[in-house]
Structure 1
C-alpha cells in the first residue's frame, strides 16, 4: 500500500453484480477490496438504480468505510454518473429513475434532457462522465450549460487511439476538472473471465463472438499503481474532496405508517382501542374468558409505546376491504399470537384460549416492526393488491422485489451456452443438477468441463434479474418513490421497489404480506356450491367443531386433496397420531417438519401419546411450557420459553434466538445460538441428552419449522377442508378442481382417489358442460360433471364463444372445431377428436348416437372439416377406424385432459400391456398390505406419484406409488436408489420388490430391487392408419424430483 495516497483516493465509478450481468463482483467484495487497498471510500454506481445499496451499506458499517452511492444512467447512448451528496439528492434521483420507468416496459429505463434538468441539482449531486460511451458534443454542451460542476473520469490509456483521447481530455481539463478512476467492473483481475462470459450471456452470444467492453484492469487496483502511472496528484485528491462533500446515509430515510383510515378527531391509540372494545363484545358475547382483558391492555399499551398502532390499523383496513367484497382471508404466522389481531379480524385463532406467546410477535427488545402475513383467495388476491394501489397511489405503495439468482442448474445452462457446449450435454448436466447431484464438484479430465464448472461456481449466487415478492407490499404515509426507485413489474398494473425483503427490513420499512392461498379459494367455492344447490349454508366460522366423522376420515389417512395433510409424510403420520381434536391437528401440522424431526422429538411424542412411555419433564420449570405436548418440545415458542424460564435468557436474547430460527436458510446462523442454549440448559440442571436434542431441534428449525401460532392458523383450514370432504365429497372435489393449480396432486390422482371413495364423476358433455366443473343432482346422490377447463390447450375465450353459440341453439357438432379453437389455443386435432368421441360415446340424444361402428366415426370426423376460415386443418379428413383398446382410450384421455374416467392406468396396463417377467398373481395391491405381516417380501406395481428426498432424511428417498386401490409408500436407502435411479427417471410406473414395514397402522415397503420390463412399451397402434408413437413414457406420471 502506497502511504502517499493512503486514505486519499476515492473510487467514483464501481458497478456491482446488481447491474445485472454487467459486472462481476458483489457489493461486499468491492467494499472489502477497497478497504484492504487503503481507499478512502468507494461509490457504488450500479446501472439504473440502487439495487445493491443496502448490502453496500451493511458492508460499510461492518468494515468501517464511509458509505457512498451513486447511479449510472444511459443518456442518448452515452453513460452518465450521478453521485448523491445528501438526502435531498437521493430523493431526487429516486424520483428521476421512477419517472424514467413509468409507463415503460420492465428494464426499459428512459431518461431525457428534460428529466435531467428537472431532477438533477448541482447542490445535491455530482455529475460525472465515465471514460467510456462519451457523449456527443451537443450533449456535452448541454451538461456544461446546466451542470457547471461535473467531473470527467479518466483511467489508464495504452493504445495510440487512447493516447489521442488522453490529449483531448487534457485539453478539456482547462474547462472541466478531471478525477482519476479505475472504472471498476469487478474487485479482482481474476473475475475478468467471468465478466466476459456474463457479457456473452447478456447478449445471447457465444464467448468467441463477444468483444469484452473492458479489460482485466477494470478492478480495484493498488494505490502504488497511481505513482507508477504518474497520475496527477490533483486528479487523485479531487476524488477524496468529492467523497468528503457527500454525507448521505441510508439511516436518514424516514418511514411513517399511513393514516388514511383514521377518523377525524381521533388518535391511532383511541381508534384502535375503540375497535378492539367493540370486537371484544362480539367475540365473547357470553363473557370474557379469564386474562383476556389483562392481555388486551398489555398489548395495547405495548403497541402505543412502540407506536405500532398505525401499522395494525393499516392491516385492518386491508382485511376490512377484502371482507366487504366477500374475499376469504386469514392472517397466519406469528400474528396469530396477538389478541389485537384476533379482535381486528386479521387472524382467526384466539391466542388467550391457546395460551400463545405475544412476545413471539411483538416485544420491546425486537427492535423491528412486526410482520403480518395474510392469506387471501389466490384467484382474488389481485383485487386486494389493486385496492392498495388505488387507496395510497403508486407513488406511496409498491411490491417488494425478490432477487432471481443463479443456481446450479441455471448457471450451467447459461454459462455452458456461452462457452459453446451442445444442448445435449447441457441437458444431461442440468438433469444431474435437478436430481441434487453435486455436478459442479465432478472430477473430470476434460478441460472444457473444468472451465464450465469453475465459472458456473463463480456465477452461482449472482442476481440474474429482479422479480416480485409473492405478496409483500410497502405502503407509506410519505412518497415511497423518494425512498426507493419504483419500476414496473412484469405483471400488468404492478410496480416494485428495488429492494428485497431483507433490505426493506434493514431500513425499517413496513411490509405487509398479501399472500395467495388456493385452499381459501376452494373453501369459498365449496360454500357457494352448497348454498347454490340448497344443500347447506356454511361459513368458516360456523363449521361444527370436533366432528367425529371428519376425524375418523383423517385418521384413516384419506386426506388426498386436503390442506397441509395430504403429503406422503403427513399421511404416514396420521394413523400413528390419530387426531381427535383441533389441537391434535395443530401438532400434526407442526411435527412433520425438520425441527422436531432433527431434534428427535417425533417418536418420544408418539410413544407418550400411545401410552407406551410415561410423560416426564427434564426440569420442573418445563412442565407449564411442555404440558400441552406431553413433555416434548415441538414448537418454536416452546424453545423460546425454555430459553427464558430455564436457561436464563433475557427477552432480547430470546428474540435473537427467534430471529435465527425464523431465518430458514437465509441470514441466520443458528449454530452459535444452539451451542449457547445447550450450555446454559445443562448449567441449570438439564441432562446432556435432552439438551443435545434441543440443540438439534433448533438447527432443524433453521431448515424449516413452524411456530405454534402458524400451525394453529393452518389447522383451521385443514379442519374446514376435511369437514367438507367428509360430508360433501362431490362438492368439495368440484371446488378443488375449479381452484387448480394448487395442492400436492394432479387432476388424475384426485379423480382416481375420490372415485375410490364413491364420488361419481361424469365426462365432458357438449350439451351440459360449462367452463368450470359443476354439480349435477342425481336421484339419490350428487355427481360431478367435468367442465371444459379440463381440456389441455383450450382457451377460456374460445370456450366462452362456443358456449354462447350453444346457448343460442346452434348445433354443437358442426361448429365445435371452429368454436372451441382459436389462434390462442393449442387444442390440436387429436385432442378435438377425443373430445368429440367422448361426447358421442355418452350422447343418447343426437342422431349420431344412432350410428354404429365406422359410419358413426366417419360422421363425426366429417363434422371436423373446417369452416371458413379454417382454424384446425386445411386438409380433407378421411380416416379408417378400428375399435380402440382400453389402453389406447386411456392414452387419448390423458392427451386430452391429463386424466381419465377409465379404470386406473395400473389396472389397464396389467390387463393389456403387462410385459414384466413376474406373474400378476404375485402382485400385491395397496389395499391388501394392511393385513400382511411385517418383514414379508412383496411385488407392487403402480404409477409414480411423487419422489422426494428431504434434507433431514440422510439420503433416504421416499416414493409414493399409486395403484387402482390406493397409495403405496416406498422407501429407498441411498445405495438402492443409486442402483435404480435411471429406471425411475425414465418410467411412469414401476414394478418393485421389497419388505413390508409396519408402524402402528402405517405401512411402507423397503425397496430391495426394481424389475425392468422385457421391452419398453413406448409404441402403440393408433386408431388411424398411421402409427402413434408415445414419445414420453412418463405421459401418465406426475412426480417431484428429489
Structure 2
C-alpha cells in the first residue's frame, strides 16, 4: 500500500535512514514498499539490497517536484522503467530547465498524480490519481465510473512520529533559509505522513475496496532486480576479451624492456602472475583504459603521478601508469587486487591542477556522456554545522551561534531553546545535507549510466551521478580517480622553464637516476626541501633531519610515519629510536625479524600487516588483505572478519607458534593496522618528492619560480620568494615591459607576475600583455596609457609598484604625470600611429623619496616587501645573539633570537590546553623551529606576520635542534615615512 516513501535522501525533507525505513516496514507487516525520493534516485540500490535481505518486495521510483510543489510520482514497473525515470530527470537536470506539468510517454513507468490534479479526465493507461485517506470525503457523491480504475492509495511516509515531523519542519526551515516561525503550512508535510500497520491503512479505505484493489494490482505488476555482483564498468577496451588480454600482455612486456631490460626473470614471473589475476577478475579493460588515458596525456606533454594501491602492480609500473617499482619495495599485488577483495580497487592518477579538465574532456569525448560521469559525494550534517543552521532558524545573533557551535558543552543547557537545538542537532547528525562532487572519481560504464542513477549537473559542468563512492562500491563500479595537485604543476613547469631557458631536456620519470643521485640525497639529508612536494612542512623537514634521511627507502617510511595517527600513537618516535639503535631491537619471533627488519620491527605500512599475517599465521594474502581492510574501518562484513581472526589463531597454532607470542603479535597487528598507511602510497609520494628535490637541487631558480606560480605549497607566496632569493634570484617588482600574468625568469632576474598585484583586474593584465606582444614594448607612460585604455585606479597600482621604472622617472614624477593623461576621463583608444610623437616634458620640483615608501606599497599591493627584507623594517637593529647555524652548539642553554614568522601549528594537549609549534627564519634566511607550551606562552602567542624577539631554551632530538619558548614578543616596525 506504500507507493510514496521518502528516505533522508529527500534532502532537507525526509528524516528516515533507509535501514530505519525498512525496520518500520517490518514492524508494520509491510510486504511491498516503494522508495520515491524527491527528484533523485540516490538510495535506490541500497534500498533494494536492504529490502531483499529483509524479505520485503522493493519497488523504486522518483517523486517529481518543481519549486517544492508535488507534480507527480513515477514508479518503475521494471529495470527499464527505472532507466526511463532516471533519463527523464537527467534531461531536465543537465539542461537546467524546469520539470514539466506532465511527464514523458513512459513505456515502463506508472505515474501517480496528486488528487487535486486537473488531468483526471484525460489519464493515460499508465497514469493514476493518488488519494490520501483524508481526501476520501471528497469522493462522496461524485460519479466515479471514469475514475474507478484510476484511483490508488497515496499514503506518503516522511518521518517516524511527531518528533520526526518536528525535525522535518526544521529541515524545511533550513532548506528555505527562513525563520522557523515564518515557515508556511504548505512547506511542511502533513501530520499523518508516518507508517501505519498495513491492516490499519486498509481499514481507512474499506469503504472503497476498488482503490485497495487498484493499488495491489499496480504493485503486483512491478518488479525490479538489481545485480550487485556483476561489474558495471566498461567491459572491453577492444572488440573482445581475447584482444584485451593480448593487448595488455603486449603493453606489459614492452614496458618491461624499458623498466627492467629483457632478462629479468623475477619481473617476468611477477608479470605472468599478475596477468592471470587481472584477466580472471575481468580487469584487463580497466588497465587498458587507464593506460590509454595516460598515453594520451603524455602525448600532450602532461605529467602525472600514479599512486595508491595500484602502485603494488608491476603491470601498472611497466605500463608507466605508476613510477613505483614493486619489486624494489617488495610490494604485494594482493594489496591491489585479489579474489576476496569486497571492494573494487582503483588507480589514483594525479595531474597538474590546470590539466585535469583536459583529461576529463578526453574521457567524456571518447566514451560518451551516456557512459561517463563524475562520481558524487554526500555532505552530511555535522554537529557544529547543524547548530549553526538551527541557530539561524531561531534568529540567534551570530556571536551566540559561534559560541554555541564552538563550545556546545558549555552552552547546550543554558535555556530551553539551547536544549532544543542540541536535541535537534543530535537527531540531524550524519544526516545527508547536499549532494556534491567526489574529489576525483570518474565512472565509465558498460550500459548507459541511467540504468543505475539519475545525473546532476553541478557547477563543475560535467554530469555527476547522484550517489557516492560507497554506493558505487556496493553497485560494483570501479572508479578512475583523476585527481589534481599543485605539486605536479610545479614539477612540469620547472621542467618546461629549464628547457626554455637552458635548452636542457630532463627525463623526470627516470626515477632510478633521481633517487640515486648523491647530490640530491645530500640535499634531502639537510632537510633543505622548501617547495618540494610532501617534504616541505616544518614537521617533515624536522623528521628528515632526525632520521638523517638520505635514501629512498627511508623517505618512503618517513612519508608514512609522519601521518597524524602514527605520530599520535607514539609509533613515529619509536621508529626514530629504533632507526638510530637497531642493535637494541628485540624481535618477538624470527618471522617478525625476517619480515619487519626493513622497518625496525614497527608495522609502518599496511603491507607489513599483510606480511605478518601471511608469514607468521599462514593466512593467504587475500584473507590477510580482508583483515587489513577491516581493521582500517573499510570492511563491513563482521562475520567474515571474525572468521579470519579465528583463522589467524588457528594458523599460528598449526605452525607451532607459541601461544603467548601469538597473542602479542595479534595485539600489535590490531593496534598498528588502524594507523598503518599503504606502502605504495608512501612510495608514490616519495617518487614525487625526489622529482621535486632533483629540480630544486640542480635548477633552484627555475624550480622556485614554478613553485611561486602554482600557489599550492605548504607556505604562502612570500616564503617561496624568500627561497628564490636564497637560490640566487634577483626578485623584481612587476614591469609592464617584462612581466607576464605569472612570474617569469630571465637569467637570474625574476619578474613577479601581474597576478600578485592586489586589485589589478585580470582583463587589464591580459590587455597589457597582448598589446605589448602586438605593438612592441611600451615607450613611456603616455604610450602605455593610450595603448591600453587603462583607468586611473588601475594605472596607479602599477605606478606604486614602480612598474614603469624603465622610463627612468621616479614614482612621484609618474604619479604627477599620469593625471595629465587621464585626470578623471577615460582614454579613448587611438588608431595605430605611423609615428609616435615625442612625449611631453614637464619641469617638476625635486620630490623626496624613501625606499621604505616602496616597501610599504609592496606590502599593501603584493603582501610582502621586495625592496627591503622584513628585518630592515624593524625599529631595532638587533638581530639576535644566536643564529640557526649555531643552535646545535647551544643545546641546554637559554638563547635570544630574532625570527621572521613563517607558520605555526596549534595542537591541543591531553588536558585540553593549546600549545603551538612555530617556524621562523633568522636574518641569514635559515629556518628554525619553536615549541610553545601552555604554561610559558599566552593563549594565542602569534600576532600575525613580522619579526619576533624570542627567548628560549635550545633542545635537541636526534641531532635536530629547536627552541622551547620562555618569552616571546612581536617587534615593532618603522612607520611609513609618508604618514
- Asked if these proteins are the same fold (TM beyond 0.5), I'd say yes
C-alpha separation between the residues in 2 aligned to 1:766 and 1:477? Answer: 54
Aligned to 1:597: 567
Secondary structure at the aligned position of 1:541 is classed as: coil
Q: In structure 1, what is the equivalent of residue 183 of structure 2?
A: 210
Q: For residues 667 and 768 of structure 1, what CA distance do their matches in structure 2 show?
A: 63
Q: In the TM superposition, what whole-angstrom CA distance separates every residue of 1:245-283 from its partner, at most 9, and x where no partner exists?
A: 432133279655436742689522122112222222333
Shift of 1:127: 2.4
User: Quick one: structure 1 residues 170 and 13, their matched pair in 2 at CA, closer, same or farther if it must change by over 3 Å?
Assistant: farther
Residue among 7, 15, 33 paired with 1:42: 33
- Paired residue for 2:891, among 933, 950, 953? 933
2:270 to 260, 282, 295: 295
Structure 1 residues 632, 884: closer, same or farther in 2, change over 3 A? farther
Question: What TM-score, normalized by structure 2, do the two folds share?
Answer: 0.87
Choose the corresponding residue for 2:521, options 534, 547, 551: 551
- The secondary structure found in structure 1 opposite 2:917 is strand
The residue matched to 1:472 in structure 2 has which SS?
Answer: strand
Structure 2 residue aligned with 1:916? none
In structure 2, the partner of 1:359 is 334
**1:145 aligns to 2:106 (yes or no):** no
Q: 1:192 aligns with which of 152, 165, 190?
A: 165
Q: Match for residue 908 of structure 1?
A: 873
Partner of residue 848, structure 1 = 809
User: Aligned pair in 2 of structure 1 residues 707, 254: CA closer, same or farther (>3 Å)?
Assistant: closer
TM superposition score normalised by structure 1: 0.82
CA distance in 1, matches of 2:944, 2:500: 46
CA distance in 2, matches of 1:954, 1:67: 49
C-alpha distance in structure 2 between counterparts of 1:419 and 1:426, whole Å: 10
Of 252-261 and 570-579, more deviation after overlay is shown by 252-261
Contact 1:100 1:111 (8 Å CA) reproduced? no
Q: Is the 8 A contact 1:890 1:905 kept in 2?
A: no
Aligned counterparts, 1:10-409, within 5 A: 10-60=1-51, 63-74=54-65, 78-104=70-96, 110-111=99-100, 113=102, 115-117=103-105, 120-121=106-107, 124-130=108-114, 134-135=116-117, 137=118, 139-142=119-122, 144-147=123-126, 150-155=128-133, 157=134, 165=138, 167=140, 174-212=147-185, 213-221=188-196, 226=201, 232=207, 234=209, 242-251=218-227, 255-258=231-234, 261-262=237-238, 267-285=243-261, 287-409=262-384
Q: 1:343 to 1:856 in 2, by over 3 A?
A: closer
* Superposition deviation, residue 65 in structure 1: 3.7
Q: Tell me the equivalent position of 1:837.
A: 800
Q: 1:875-934 CA deviation, whole Å, 9 max, x = no partner?
A: xxxx9999787776545323312333244436624549xxxxxxx677865555333223
**Residue 686 of structure 1, aligned match among 650, 655, 661:** 661
Residues 990, 191 of structure 1: CA spacing in aligned structure 2 closer, same or farther, 3 A cutoff? Answer: farther
Question: Is structure 2 residue 432 aligned with structure 1 residue 463?
Answer: yes
Matched pairs, number: 950
- What does 1:485-496 correspond to in 2, within 5 Å? 485-492=454-461, 494-496=462-464
Kept after mapping to 2: 8 A contact 1:597/1:952:
no
Contact 1:255 1:476 in 2 (8 A): no
SS at match of 1:218: coil
Contact 1:969 1:1004 (8 Å CA) reproduced: yes
SS in 1 for 2:306: strand
Task: Report the equivalent of 2:598.
Answer: 628
Q: Secondary structure, in 3 states, of the residue corresponding to 2:523? A: helix
8 Å Cα contact 2:248-2:284 kept in structure 1: yes
Change (3 A) 1:883 1:243: farther
Which SS does the other structure have where 1:695 is aligned? helix
1:971 and 2:931 correspond: yes
| Deviation of the 1:478 alpha carbon | 2.3
Q: Distance in 1 between matches of 2:978 and 2:46?
A: 62
Matched, 1:451 2:420: yes
> Does the 8 A contact of 1:984 with 1:990 survive in 2?
no
The alignment partner of 1:471 has SS state of strand
- 2: CA distance, partners of 1:881 / 1:153: 90
Report the Cα distance in structure 2 between the residues aligned to 1:265 and 1:16, rounded to whole angstroms.
41
> Are positions 1:506 and 2:496 aligned together?
no
Q: Distance in 2 between matches of 1:796 and 1:862?
A: 25
Q: 1:677 to 1:948 in 2, by over 3 A?
A: farther
- Higher alpha-carbon deviation: 666-675 or 722-731: 666-675
> Against the structure 1 CA distance between its residues 899 and 528, is the aligned structure 2 distance closer, same or farther, given a 3 Å change threshold?
same
Any conservation in 2 of the 1:619–1:685 contact (CA below 8 Å)? no
Separation of aligned partners in 2, 1:686 and 1:275:
46
**Structure 1: 5+ residue stretches without partners:** 1-9, 433-437, 872-878, 913-919, 1025-1042
Q: Does the CA-based 8 Å contact 1:674-1:695 persist in structure 2?
A: no
**How far off its partner does 1:190 sit?**
0.9
State the 1:18 CA deviation.
1.5
Give the 3-state SS of the residue equivalent to 1:540 in structure 2: coil
Distance 1:256 1:453, change over 3 A: closer
Q: Residues of 2 paired with 1:609 and 1:889: CA distance?
A: 51
- Compared with structure 1, are the counterparts of its residues 921 and 270 closer, same or farther at alpha carbon in structure 2 (3 Å cutoff)? closer
